[in-house]
Structure 1
Amino acid sequence: MDRTQTIIRGTDITRSVADALQFISYYHPADYIRYLSAAYKREESPAAKNAIAQILVNSRMAAFGRRPICQDTGLVVVFAKIGMSVRIDSVRSLTELVDEGVRQAYLDPDNPLRASVVLDPLSTRRNTRDNTPAIVHTELVPGNKITFIIAAKGGGSENKARFTTLNPSASVSDWVIDTIATLGSGWCPPGLIGIGVGGSAEKAMLMAKEVLNDPIDMFDLLARGPSCPEEELRIELYQRINALGIGAQGLGGLTTVVDVKVSTYPTHAASKPVALIPQCAANRHVKFTLDGSGPAVLTPPDMSDWPEIDFGSTLSTNARRVNLDTLTKEETATWRAGETLLLSGKMLTGRDAAHKRIVDLIDAGKPLPVDLRGRVIYYVGPVQAVRDEIVGPAGPTTSTRMDAFTEKVLEATGLYAMVGKAERGPAAIDAIVKHRTPYMIAIGGAAYLISQSIKAARVLAFEDLGMEAIYEFEVQDMPVTMAVDVEGRSIHKSGPAEWRQRIAGL
């Protein structure tokens, strides 16, 4: 074994972390693009195929434009395996070096990333403004190098992480399937599922998070067959999860996951800890090694990995065009769950913090700063614009977080329609039917593509909320899918149910 001590400069760690975070903000891993392209080719559900097409087109555009794949540029998670013959030349701790890299990456003027981290999660929840601190996991290993995995985890998928302790004889597979069926689509499929089994509660969660960064190899595994219990479980879960028919963005289809990863560890005889963590369609991570020779050199994927998709002609043929500036209740009542709409005209934005302020003003009997009557609202928190951009990547956020506000807002304001991501809960659907205010979805994971539809943007209210302020966007041919119509029909219920039956019959 080489016991030669390696000196790695702290500045190289910081520079490498910053470069890696910029890199993963606009480059998908090549293996994910290949697997998603294969899923696109075999998908038979029109709605799901359209969703995958948008994700792939968005990915290619983000790679060319070097702008974020998704507006939620993620909580930074770092796994560092540090060789015991390494000395880090710095007066700063490793965590401080990493956080400086995060700060540099997220404040980069050429490609600023959205800061989503808040201090004091119990009360003020004040934004740190630079996305620090990162979540750093370290392990000492033999050797004279440091291997880093840098990941950026979006809130939509992170919020769907689950943990349980099963009886030793209970089925891990059954628990996973039952759990996936309850998650909805806020985690933005098609993606991956990481499973950690064993150890303790925190060990299982850590394994589930780390294993998501392994190379995607399900097709190879299916071709050669399993060689251990973990691989048997991977295949079983891959097939059973896809058989649920959830499909891309929960619209119903053949592919919900492109891979399932499983990691295990010895555990107490009385225990079977099991953790489940989904990975969304952004799937941002990169691995590199520092050996003392300088910062990491990251190789972009080959642009030929992306398929050529004529997305525009597909939309023009199958979509209904909507003028938001002349919209009427009568027109919105004709929209049906599952159809594609192209929105043009002026729309408002507003997500969690804005909705909370609106409801507080309603409760206090005070006037709202913006008249919502007859308007369409989009649940979005865009990335900061650069150069000649109107707005940065502007994909939807998970709509269920607005469910608690929906009845009161619709009752008091006269909104005509809502746009977000994923399904709505029963209370929101009841409000949709009561007030005949339909709900549409934009595709999670298509933020840069969506931003190209936005031709003007200005802040109207709550400017202090930053990306959560109320904007007015002027859009042209912004693609959305009708999710819940005024009769309460939901594509997130009918789509998976239909495709679950179809898959069962194959």
Structure 2
Amino acid sequence: MTVIRQDDLIESIADALQFISYYHPLDFIQAIHRAYEREESQAAKDAMAQILINSRMCAMGHRPLCQDTGIVNVFMKVGMDIQWQGSMSVTDMINEGVRQAYNHPDNLLRASILADPDGARRNTGDNTPAVISYEIVPGNKLVIDVAAKGGGSEAKSKFAMLNPSDSVVDWVLQEVPKMGAGWCPPGMLGIGIGGTAEKAMLLAKESLMESINIQELQDRGPSSRAEELRLELFKKVNDLGVGAQGLGGLTTVLDVKVKDFPAHAANKAVALIPNCAASRHTHFTLDGSGPAKQTPPNIEDWPKISWEIGDSVRKVDLGKVTKNDLLDWMPGETILLSGKILTGRDAAHKRIVEMITDGEKLPVDMTGRFIYYVGPVDPVREEIVGPAGPTTATRMDKFTRTLLEKTGLIGMIGKAERGPSAIDAIRDHKAIYLMAVGGAAYLVSKAIIGAKVVAFEDLGMEAIYEFEIVDMPVTVAVDTNGESVHRTGPEIWKTKIEEHALKLGE
């Protein structure tokens, strides 16, 4: 009989979550590097360069890969011959490990979990509770997979109850373009097939805990229908040309995972869950001998990528820019921003619009200013601000027209595409939308030399800050005429990939 002590489980969970906050899995880094080396789209190549540089910086500095440090997912395989020693429930032990990890003074992680999700949406303050799945198995060990799943990729999860004769491939190829770029490709797709609705979703999520090994499968060939699907979807999804950050390119997915389960004769449940460029997961085993400790990787295994910006890149002083200056900013153009910007996410936008509706004076003047969609990690030691990458811009679409009309705002910075309503508002008001790279949060934070809360302090990480920045790199994603690179880029690269395949006779 193996005795699993309460403190050993708590310490192991906390250590694993700290570890994955700043170390990518090495197989993920190797896959991104391979994709970077073969990429022909310069915009996508630049995005992957920033992801690789950010990853190396985080591994060396022990700070989060992304400002969204995720919702904790834990998969427990509990041996039947285990005895527990402790006063807490196992669920409470895991949540205490989460609490300790996210409040670690040397590497504070952002608390993103809100209680009463359709009501007050109150932040729990410590990122608990975790989402936990238990399976009772033979043996005397406790095997655990731990992941921190970003909200942007989780938001793009899909489910369908297909007819038994329907094609899973056709459904996935229909859904991936609808996902846009908010899941921060390139990443992985997890697909669950069969069982019931909740079982398919669980299979898809669990598949994302596996290593990237599509090249091995390509070399040896498939031995099951699930492996056949992996190979077919890997090629066909990449042939869509979505590319890194949705900018168009050769690599949209680094791997596709498929897990299946027996199903009722009348059903074919199918779930699709993407993993983002901040892929964070690890596993460990407890055997009664003490807590599990993660083994740090060799930093020399990280590629040394340089990302150079030429002298021709436009540099913008935000203290001097006017609406007329925006008119010649070109879609896909790289711009370096310096000066002062405001920040604001969902909660701040909602409150601003409510204040406008009620005729209240806003706490900050937005006239002629840019707003950055971000919820930063709290700083530690000498930091001005913690990792501060962009959040998904489409969540702000429904507020965009009101802010452009009523506040004098002229520019927005976020990640991924904008929807039709936001693009129309941007065009109508001759405003601009700029994209920062999702998955490069620590790198972005190094451009921030000043930060202070200027409104809505009670919202925590969703408060409005004023950042002072120097040479923050962004890409023009929607210009003043409403042209979006997230529409034109994938279209161009899908055509190029098709033309290349025709030349090769594929």
For residues 195-228 of structure 1, what are the alpha-carbon distances to aligned partners after superposition, in whole Å with 9 as ceiling and x for unaligned?
0000111100000000111111011111121111
Determine if contact 1:188/1:281 at 8 Å carries over to the other structure: yes
1:15-54 alignment to 2 at 5 Å?
Answer: 15-54=11-50
Separation of aligned partners in 1, 2:451 and 2:339: 12
Separation of aligned partners in 2, 1:200 and 1:464: 41
Matching residue of 2:242:
246
Which one of 328, 331, 340 corresponds to residue 337 of structure 1? 331
Which one of 464, 468, 477 corresponds to residue 471 of structure 2? 477
Cα distance, 1:106 vs structure 2: 0.5
Cα distance, 1:253 vs structure 2: 0.4
Which one of 285, 291, 296 corresponds to residue 287 of structure 2? 291
Determine if contact 2:448/2:470 at 8 Å carries over to the other structure: yes
For residues 34-67 of structure 1, what are the alpha-carbon distances to aligned partners after superposition, in whole Å with 9 as ceiling and x for unaligned?
0000000000000000000000000000110000
* Letter in structure 2 aligned against 1:274: V
Separation of aligned partners in 1, 2:456 and 2:186: 34
* Letter in structure 1 aligned against 2:223: S
Determine if contact 2:242/2:249 at 8 Å carries over to the other structure: yes
Q: How many residues align?
A: 500
Separation of aligned partners in 2, 1:482 and 1:236: 34
2:379 aligns to what SS in structure 1?
Answer: coil
* Letter in structure 1 aligned against 2:202: L
1:83 aligns with 2:68: no
Cα distance, 1:493 vs structure 2: 0.3
1:149-298 alignment to 2 at 5 Å?
Answer: 149-298=145-294
Separation of aligned partners in 1, 2:448 and 2:328: 25
Separation of aligned partners in 1, 2:335 and 2:196: 48
Separation of aligned partners in 2, 1:86 and 1:318: 64
Cα distance, 1:318 vs structure 2: 5.4
Separation of aligned partners in 2, 1:225 and 1:475: 50
Cα distance, 1:306 vs structure 2: 1.5
1:82 aligns to what SS in structure 2?
Answer: strand
Separation of aligned partners in 2, 1:289 and 1:316: 49
* Letter in structure 2 aligned against 1:193: L
Cα distance, 1:319 vs structure 2: 2.5
* Letter in structure 1 aligned against 2:281: H
Which one of 285, 306, 311 corresponds to residue 310 of structure 1? 306
Which one of 85, 88, 93 corresponds to residue 92 of structure 1? 88
User: Is 186-195 or 327-336 further displaced after alignment?
Assistant: 327-336
* Letter in structure 2 aligned against 1:256: T
Determine if contact 2:315/2:335 at 8 Å carries over to the other structure: yes
User: Is 456-465 or 221-230 further displaced after alignment?
Assistant: 221-230
Matching residue of 2:504:
none
Matching residue of 2:419:
425
2:285 aligns to what SS in structure 1?
Answer: strand
1:430 aligns to what SS in structure 2?
Answer: helix
2:114 aligns to what SS in structure 1?
Answer: coil
For residues 169-211 of structure 1, what are the alpha-carbon distances to aligned partners after superposition, in whole Å with 9 as ceiling and x for unaligned?
1100100110111110101100000000001111000000001
Cα distance, 1:310 vs structure 2: 1.5
Which one of 62, 66, 70 corresponds to residue 66 of structure 1? 62
Matching residue of 1:492:
486
Mark the runs of 5 or more structure 2 residues left unpaired by the alignment: 501-506
Matching residue of 2:503:
none
Cα distance, 1:317 vs structure 2: 4.2
1:181 aligns to what SS in structure 2?
Answer: helix
Matching residue of 1:12:
8
Separation of aligned partners in 2, 1:204 and 1:133: 23
Cα distance, 1:163 vs structure 2: 0.6
Cα distance, 1:330 vs structure 2: 1.5
Matching residue of 2:394:
400
Separation of aligned partners in 1, 2:279 and 2:96: 23
For residues 110-137 of structure 1, what are the alpha-carbon distances to aligned partners after superposition, in whole Å with 9 as ceiling and x for unaligned?
1010000011112111000000000010
Matching residue of 2:322:
328
1:434 aligns with 2:428: yes
Determine if contact 2:14/2:98 at 8 Å carries over to the other structure: yes
Separation of aligned partners in 2, 1:417 and 1:106: 33
CA RMSD, 1 decimal: 0.7
Cα distance, 1:103 vs structure 2: 0.3
For residues 63-95 of structure 1, what are the alpha-carbon distances to aligned partners after superposition, in whole Å with 9 as ceiling and x for unaligned?
100000000000000001011111111121110
2:45 aligns to what SS in structure 1?
Answer: helix
Separation of aligned partners in 1, 2:258 and 2:46: 30
2:319 aligns to what SS in structure 1?
Answer: helix
Cα distance, 1:304 vs structure 2: 2.1
User: Structure 1's 318 and 229: CA in aligned 2 closer, same or farther, altered over 3 A?
Assistant: farther
Matching residue of 1:360:
354
User: Structure 1's 250 and 264: CA in aligned 2 closer, same or farther, altered over 3 A?
Assistant: same
Q: Which runs of 4+ in 1 moved over 3 A?
A: none
Separation of aligned partners in 2, 1:319 and 1:93: 57
Structure 1 vs Structure 2: percent identity of aligned residues? 61
Which one of 379, 384, 404 corresponds to residue 385 of structure 1? 379
For residues 440-465 of structure 1, what are the alpha-carbon distances to aligned partners after superposition, in whole Å with 9 as ceiling and x for unaligned?
01000000000000000011000111
Determine if contact 2:203/2:260 at 8 Å carries over to the other structure: yes
Determine if contact 2:161/2:269 at 8 Å carries over to the other structure: yes
* Letter in structure 2 aligned against 1:302: N
Determine if contact 2:82/2:140 at 8 Å carries over to the other structure: yes
Cα distance, 1:305 vs structure 2: 2.1
Separation of aligned partners in 1, 2:163 and 2:134: 31
1:139 aligns to what SS in structure 2?
Answer: strand
Separation of aligned partners in 1, 2:283 and 2:459: 34
1:88-127 alignment to 2 at 5 Å?
Answer: 88-127=84-123
* Letter in structure 2 aligned against 1:408: T
Cα distance, 1:413 vs structure 2: 1.0
TM-score normalised according to structure 1 size:
0.98
Mark the runs of 5 or more structure 1 residues left unpaired by the alignment: none
Cα distance, 1:329 vs structure 2: 1.1
Separation of aligned partners in 2, 1:45 and 1:133: 41
Determine if contact 1:318/1:340 at 8 Å carries over to the other structure: no
Which one of 445, 449, 455 corresponds to residue 455 of structure 1? 449
Determine if contact 2:16/2:293 at 8 Å carries over to the other structure: no
